[in-house]
Structure 1
């Protein structure tokens, strides 16, 4: 069963469908063409071709579809006969066949009375058949374009292959599109179709369309289509199915359905895969079985030794296996299974004793042989030893693998190795001696790895269990465990985190200083920051620094320095606090404490960003992200936050091309809050560019009940998106829900209030224009309440004390709120909008342009047309350069209504296009889609999409067709011949 039969919709395959459609278009115009569609079994070739065939029928084309079968050479012209038989119900084709007895005789009921047995197609004159087929296609094509599909050509008989070659060579001006499909994974070196394909692809009218595997997003979309109206697949299910299926739609469907029924490997899929192994000789099958135990990648020498065959025999067996495309060469001395599921099927088919013996053989070779020094040797040895039931060897290898993964910056893998070792702890003799550490230390290593991988909940769960089982009389251990728990809890439950840290500090006296108490003090001070102005913070931080220096606990000193710097910054935003952050970062790096180093690095960049030093912030964030990537910390708590900050800086400075590249790695289908946080930030640019955010919001909605910050980012930007679409009700629904969930003096509320005021002002303006005084008055009253809340949050801390530091962006959003409130009252004051422009002018390109739009509008109302035109022109230039399509549309509408455009020379439509955008426009004009543009320019499809959005905004059009027309009509690409 193929992709189309399962889902009924075509997922992805945009470029491949475009190739087929282009061939059909050429055929309809009188230029016959051939397309050879290839791909692995289950890749979706048939569904792709069926989609084209359906579209062709809708256009009035005649469509003939025939299938080859796995019958060898016994049925000549089988796909042609199949196509003619299924199509003969059509009166015109039936009449054309009746006029050509040579073709009529190919059909099941076409045997002439009295003809001798066996006098079928194989005895027909080849040239008669060729001429009849050519004439039939030509006759049909004169009435309407013809699509002839020959499916599964890897099973084609010799006569069909010759016919395919003939038609590909002679079809020229007939209105015929010939499509052949074949499995590329079946085309071994001696396959008879292989030279035919190579020959045909050299012909000018023959093109290739390779149907490759799905990407992760396409697999997710496909599984969602399979689920229909039922329970949608989770992100974990999608990731697991995509990993195992490697993007093959058929495999993905089988795995997904089986998994929901509790089945690991579907019987149908296993049988299909094993059928290919059963064709092998005994020695080749033996080598494949040994290779399945080795893993996806197979070492030539290891498999030879485990197979217990001599070198020549193994070499011959490998040649046979490669010939059948079960293994493919990978490097100088290795092979990989063509598909991971093939390895799984072979492995699952092994007898239990055979499996154990082979694993033991691999373990012995890895432990003692030359492969023992391999970088992955410990992990592989642990795997094989466990499968061979050698628990002591599996235990020590798992620990070594965990430590190696730690050193390599792979925290996810480190945790899994530690977890496996801990599961074996009670099953091996003298585990402490073998581990070189006690169980508590290994448990802490596992918890630390979880935290570094961004799985805070798993770290907290492990620490809670460990705290319950720890001996009560070991006070220093109790302090250590509570400090670690408080450290991880701060992101999940800040109040509990503070209470646990306070308890840890109270368990040990101040004298003599101890490393455990120094760390607990540092964590306690950090957790107190959730209250912003807690007066105990500096004293506790200073005590932590003194205790840390006395005991040489560098990570505690670094953590306390960051806390102290952050606390001082809130009172005196002087650049001197940067020195504290930088010192803390360097100290933590020297100590090897990556988490504290990242926290310090984040605040180092963030403080510059808040002060308006955007260049410095960009450099600091980039440097921090290099450290993050080098150490595999991308999904740690501060690794995630730094990724978001790096993006936000680019968004603020107006470098949306760089922001788009960063956002290209922000996955849409998310489940964990750490993934959702990164995904939510992509909305900043997507909303500003007017892109469709439906899919991203659908996934974020599932996560934001668990995480207020994700709700803050996502719903705040969803409100802006609604306002650009004119939906004030939806915008207010988002902002009202957010503000109800936030503390009254939460400074983060100011931005949401600014968006809510935008909505109320729009509502009031429309109400006054329609004479609805009651609605206008209600909106103005709501605006008053909102502004009062913004002023309170800007001036007062949560505990009621005067706020001494707000940050440049906070002041800018407050200025925007003041201006929007006045607009809601019908007093669109240019002075307030000038203040907003000035407040955002520290470098926030987009918000300056948005404020200028309102300033131009307010000036135009007061008759200051020249000044209004100047502000309007500056805003439009910036909006066009950014590709901020909704803002561009709003500005052009304002320019039309207020007749501001005549105040400046009309710029060339292409004036704002970058060199890269001109290249993209040329490809758009040539009819290329995003995937084809990406391939042509060596960029990602996401980046291509961003460029196209920018171009549409700059040209003032809404579709690719309009952009292409404008490019041709106005010679924007400069390719029109000069006269």
Structure 2
């Protein structure tokens, strides 16, 4: 394609510009553009980039463009680094925003990837930093981020693409990715990514198809420019030979115009353009093909062996003939297909020699400690030129560089490649400047950081088997790491982790103190907590702390302090708990152990939350969220757990505006368990506010993921049960609550809240059955309620490992009281005193659990009203209404107003309005509404707290006042006038 003309692409251009306009309005969009090689993807995106520089904002958009390269998986985040580098040089705002984020600045060619840069959470830090950068830039003007040639993308770039597609919602960002559809074979790694992303509502797919005959004719006419339009014979021949591919059509038309003979194959067609060049120019083109991406003047001169003047002339020739085109600081092939054809045409020896020449130049830079991606490129060229020793050394260095920029997948692959070469390279340890075990453990760390815990475990199991049994320190270290990662897997592996960690401890003597033994003790104690419960960890935790202090193992001491604090929380001295969490966080932060900081931070906010000090919990979690954001960890597992805890704290305190701000960042669409987790916590607010549409949408996205995550099942289904109960569907509420209960262990304290919800459902079912005199249904509901109360009491008294639970948190006690009161309601024996106990139990902190206090007052007012204690009921009802109104708790407010109407807690004034119902009293209007809903006298009596006889009298009066003969006619009149 040529110039700015967009032939046959107006619809596709409209989709892209529409996405850009949507992003400018605050609705982030992603567009994936696909098509065969040469079909015009880059030209289309170029037109969109030109449009973005003018519209939709007065000053245009910030445009960032990066390209992938055909270098395998060796260079992580290559298109992101490319986009940042060009953006930094072109726009001072981009430069300032990138430099303010060190994790992004490390991606630049002059970035500092020092040895301390790697972190356990490097990739999440980088993802958070990219999101923050785009959000910051988008606040000033819309951002167009283009990632080209994603079929060559590395795994980290694919992960980043997936992350941004999921979390970008309200940012003014339009992300456009291009890829070759003809390259996506069945096992291509981009294929499942695309299949997953196109399911998201903010992702659009644009497929460019080949030209039709008319479009080819228009395209050739545009190529001809001011010259004579091509004849119909030429158009037909070019279209047939090119099969509508614009790039091939242009090459065929150019050859025909130049009088060149048209070769039989398309590869020959492409090479024909090169064959017409001078020998020096052909040498330059071959060098560019082996470079694989951009080349600059210096690389061309040194690798080609040409003198400076000759190299300059050759470059001028190939640029003039449009084989290479200027691209940033260097030159690139006008089309990747041309570069591929040249590379494929090289003789094996010629290809090896050129790769060796590139490797020699990079090796020179590598030995000079040049940072950036020199090591990955050196490994690539050395392997291609069969220099295994250099390839091994460069692979180790490339793994470290990938670690430092938060690309654990690529880091693992580099270390893995080095280990594959190890036995083939004499003096491998000297070449790598590392012992084999160091590289093996680096590969383990990279696998764990990439989230592939099972791959890390598999490597460690093999290392344990082959390690020298005489090296006790190494054996202990390997087993400690194995135990640590096993504890993050399933229950069976958790039990194994205790035995493996115990073996790690026993391999080393207590004296002299060593860091390895202290870390093994810390892991053993952590594993023991999950399997054998709180009493079992007291002595090991104290022993670990003493050993860690003696050895100077600060992270091990911090980890053991957390475990010891959890012990005291449940079965020891609770006055020690908060201080231990604070100290553990301080120690871990001092040595930069972010994972232990995360664990301590969560517990130091959770502890006051569980014990009713909601203001302290709010302050603690806000401080740690600021820490997470500052270090780019907002979307790490640590950041996500803190966000969900922060939402719960603000929800409990009654600051629902703040809770809504937090929930707004959670998103509704979930395609992974971690996304379902944050979405499920947002349901607390959605259900309580009665946002039925959002509740249904969240649950629809979560449903396919529930079998993979018990936490998501528990939270989402328990809140789905509440939503069903607010809708009046007690049977569905009972079903959903039972599903949530099945996801929990009997000793888990979460059973208490869930049992209370399930008992609400059974109490409603039992009450309706009693009103309908359905004894069998009532008995079923009561039996179910009995079992649920037993489950609640078991959870309240039993701990991990079957130990007796010594204490419950304040909220847990409140839920137990709620469960007991709902159980009594199911049996028809509840008393106001029981609901008073529930209100009192939820009244902790400055204002208590605001929503649950109001919800408990609803039931207390109802119980009082049933006994004719209207004044007492009104005194409880009024503050509950005020709280529900302030919170925006629509379902609770509707229930309270319904109770106020039925029990006449809000006054008995005359019925408002005129029309056919003017003669009816307020009470008679209430009765008529129930008649219109098909209720009989017994049901009306139960709903309005009156006797069936009184209900019958009201119905007779209504029929007389309305001058109708039957209940059916009265109901019809009510419906007609919208009563």
TM-score (norm 1): 0.60
SS in 2 for 1:437: coil
Choose the corresponding residue for 1:436, options 402, 421, 433.
Answer: 433
- Whether 1:489 aligns to 2:486 is yes
d(CA) in 1 for partners of 2:647, 2:287: 48
User: Structure 1 residues 377 and 830, CA, compared in 2 at 3 Å: closer, same or farther?
Assistant: farther
Corresponding residue for residue 614 of structure 2: 614
Corresponding residue for residue 425 of structure 1: 422
d(CA) in 2 for partners of 1:687, 1:285: 69
Q: Is the 8 A contact 1:719 1:735 kept in 2?
A: yes
Corresponding residue for residue 814 of structure 1: 816
Corresponding residue for residue 250 of structure 1: 206
Deviation at 1:358, TM superposition (A): 7.3
Q: Is the 8 A contact 2:529 2:537 kept in 1?
A: yes
Corresponding residue for residue 713 of structure 1: 715
Corresponding residue for residue 396 of structure 2: 399
Corresponding residue for residue 754 of structure 1: 756
Identify the range of structure 1 (665-674 vs 604-613) with the bigger mean alpha-carbon deviation: 665-674
Residues 60-97 of structure 1: CA distance to partner in whole angstroms, max 9, x if unpaired? xxxxxxxxxx9xxxxxxxxxxxxxxxxxxxxxxxxxxx
Corresponding residue for residue 94 of structure 1: none
Q: Is the 8 A contact 2:766 2:777 kept in 1?
A: yes
Corresponding residue for residue 794 of structure 2: 792
Q: Is the 8 A contact 2:753 2:815 kept in 1?
A: yes
Deviation at 1:479, TM superposition (A): 1.9
Choose the corresponding residue for 1:239, options 193, 198, 214.
Answer: 193
Which structure 2 residues correspond to residues 334-733 of structure 1 after superposition, within 5 A? 350-351=343-344, 353=346, 366-368=362-364, 373-383=370-380, 385-386=382-383, 390-492=387-489, 493=491, 494-531=494-531, 533-572=533-572, 574-629=574-629, 638=638, 640-664=640-664, 666=666, 673-674=673-674, 676-688=676-688, 689-694=691-696, 696-697=698-699, 700-733=702-735
d(CA) in 1 for partners of 2:9, 2:611: 54
Q: Is the 8 A contact 1:16 1:210 kept in 2?
A: no
Corresponding residue for residue 216 of structure 1: 165
User: Structure 1 residues 472 and 452, CA, compared in 2 at 3 Å: closer, same or farther?
Assistant: same
User: Structure 1 residues 818 and 315, CA, compared in 2 at 3 Å: closer, same or farther?
Assistant: farther
SS in 2 for 1:805: coil
Q: Is the 8 A contact 2:611 2:809 kept in 1?
A: yes
Deviation at 1:471, TM superposition (A): 3.1
Residues 772-816 of structure 1: CA distance to partner in whole angstroms, max 9, x if unpaired? 232123212322221232123213334555422211221121122
Q: Is the 8 A contact 1:483 1:520 kept in 2?
A: yes
SS in 1 for 2:707: coil
d(CA) in 1 for partners of 2:872, 2:515: 65
Deviation at 1:658, TM superposition (A): 4.6
Q: Is the 8 A contact 2:31 2:204 kept in 1?
A: no
User: Structure 1 residues 579 and 294, CA, compared in 2 at 3 Å: closer, same or farther?
Assistant: farther
Deviation at 1:441, TM superposition (A): 2.2
Deviation at 1:686, TM superposition (A): 3.8
User: Structure 1 residues 335 and 654, CA, compared in 2 at 3 Å: closer, same or farther?
Assistant: farther
Choose the corresponding residue for 2:741, options 725, 728, 739.
Answer: 739
Q: Is the 8 A contact 2:770 2:778 kept in 1?
A: yes
SS in 1 for 2:468: coil
User: Structure 1 residues 183 and 527, CA, compared in 2 at 3 Å: closer, same or farther?
Assistant: closer
Corresponding residue for residue 86 of structure 2: none
Residues 330-380 of structure 1: CA distance to partner in whole angstroms, max 9, x if unpaired? 8xx589999xxx869965884274987776666555554699745444445
Q: Is the 8 A contact 2:535 2:571 kept in 1?
A: no
- Whether 1:852 aligns to 2:857 is yes
Which structure 2 residues correspond to residues 277-292 of structure 1 after superposition, within 5 A? none
Deviation at 1:756, TM superposition (A): 1.0
Corresponding residue for residue 94 of structure 2: none
Show structure 1 runs of 5+ residues with no match: 20-37, 44-69, 71-151, 155-181, 202-208, 221-231, 255-266, 905-979
Which structure 2 residues correspond to residues 311-322 of structure 1 after superposition, within 5 A? none
Q: Is the 8 A contact 1:235 1:671 kept in 2?
A: no
Residues 815-840 of structure 1: CA distance to partner in whole angstroms, max 9, x if unpaired? 22122222222345443333333333
d(CA) in 1 for partners of 2:318, 2:415: 39
Q: Is the 8 A contact 2:365 2:374 kept in 1?
A: no
Corresponding residue for residue 775 of structure 1: 777
- What is the total number of aligned residue pairs between the two structures? 709
Identify the range of structure 1 (519-528 vs 240-249) with the bigger mean alpha-carbon deviation: 240-249
Corresponding residue for residue 958 of structure 1: none
d(CA) in 2 for partners of 1:626, 1:557: 25
Q: Is the 8 A contact 1:538 1:567 kept in 2?
A: yes
Identify the range of structure 1 (303-312 vs 757-766) with the bigger mean alpha-carbon deviation: 303-312
SS in 2 for 1:730: helix
User: Structure 1 residues 475 and 197, CA, compared in 2 at 3 Å: closer, same or farther?
Assistant: closer
Q: Is the 8 A contact 1:452 1:635 kept in 2?
A: no
SS in 2 for 1:250: strand
Residues 93-129 of structure 1: CA distance to partner in whole angstroms, max 9, x if unpaired? xxxxxxxxxxxxxxxxxxxxxxxxxxxxxxxxxxxxx
Corresponding residue for residue 149 of structure 1: none
User: Structure 1 residues 462 and 781, CA, compared in 2 at 3 Å: closer, same or farther?
Assistant: same
Q: Is the 8 A contact 2:534 2:567 kept in 1?
A: no
d(CA) in 2 for partners of 1:337, 1:844: 65
User: Structure 1 residues 304 and 481, CA, compared in 2 at 3 Å: closer, same or farther?
Assistant: same
SS in 2 for 1:767: helix
Residues 632-670 of structure 1: CA distance to partner in whole angstroms, max 9, x if unpaired? 656766555334323433443344455455445546666
User: Structure 1 residues 883 and 544, CA, compared in 2 at 3 Å: closer, same or farther?
Assistant: same
TM-score (norm 2): 0.60
User: Structure 1 residues 795 and 860, CA, compared in 2 at 3 Å: closer, same or farther?
Assistant: same
Show structure 2 runs of 5+ residues with no match: 1-6, 25-29, 61-141, 147-160, 170-185, 211-240, 255-272, 910-979
User: Structure 1 residues 814 and 545, CA, compared in 2 at 3 Å: closer, same or farther?
Assistant: same
Higher relative contact order (CA 8 A, sep 6+): 2
Q: Is the 8 A contact 2:746 2:791 kept in 1?
A: yes
Residues 200-251 of structure 1: CA distance to partner in whole angstroms, max 9, x if unpaired? x9xxxxxxx999999836999xxxxxxxxxxx99999653557899956134
Q: Is the 8 A contact 1:487 1:497 kept in 2?
A: yes
Q: Is the 8 A contact 1:408 1:631 kept in 2?
A: no
d(CA) in 2 for partners of 1:561, 1:383: 46
User: Structure 1 residues 253 and 385, CA, compared in 2 at 3 Å: closer, same or farther?
Assistant: farther
Choose the corresponding residue for 2:807, options 805, 810, 820.
Answer: 805
Corresponding residue for residue 826 of structure 1: 828
SS in 2 for 1:705: helix
d(CA) in 2 for partners of 1:476, 1:547: 16
Q: Is the 8 A contact 1:363 1:385 kept in 2?
A: yes
User: Structure 1 residues 741 and 355, CA, compared in 2 at 3 Å: closer, same or farther?
Assistant: same
d(CA) in 2 for partners of 1:833, 1:318: 85
User: Structure 1 residues 426 and 853, CA, compared in 2 at 3 Å: closer, same or farther?
Assistant: farther
